[in-house]
Amino acid sequence: MKPTEPLGTQEKMVIGDGLYFLLIVQDGKVTHFTPNVSLSHADFVKRSVGRLPAGAWVGSATKNDGYLTAINSYTFYQNQLPASPEIQKIVHDKFC
């Protein structure tokens, strides 16, 4: 599987400590991700889906000291705050 392919029914993937991923969440699931952090969020979205679909979320996820956090994309939301609890749960369920 290529990192930017839709995950569909793929099993959980574990993000190791210190790793960083870009990801898109839509309709209650992680739909796209990449460990290629040399991409901007805008380039990641463009390469993955063209344009961010209505209702989708894009951001980053990293795990430090065993704690996984999803962070909003500054490019799309003008802040780099932790994502909403709903997004945190979706990301955690997929990557922990």
* DSSP structure string for 14-60: PPPTT-EEEEEEETTEEEEEES-TTS-HHHHHHHHHSSPPTT-EEEE
Return the structure tokens found at 85: 């609890």
Please, are residues 69 and 61 in contact by the beta-carbon 8 Å criterion? yes
70 within domain boundaries:
yes
10 within domain boundaries:
no
Single out the residue of 73, 67, 79 nearest to residue 15, CA to CA.
Answer: 67
37 within domain boundaries:
yes
Range of the domain at 74: 20-95
Q: What is the pLDDT of residue 13?
A: 84
Q: What is the pLDDT of residue 10?
A: 58
27 within domain boundaries:
yes
Q: pLDDT tier at 88 (50, 70, 90 boundaries)?
A: very high
Q: How many domains is the chain partitioned into structurally?
A: 1
66 within domain boundaries:
yes
What is the tens place of the pLDDT at every residue in 21-80?
Answer: 999 999 999 999 999 999 999 999 999 999 999 999 999 999 999 999 999 999 999 999
Q: What is the pTM of this model?
A: 0.85
Q: pLDDT tier at 12 (50, 70, 90 boundaries)?
A: confident
Whether residue 1 has pLDDT greater than 70: no
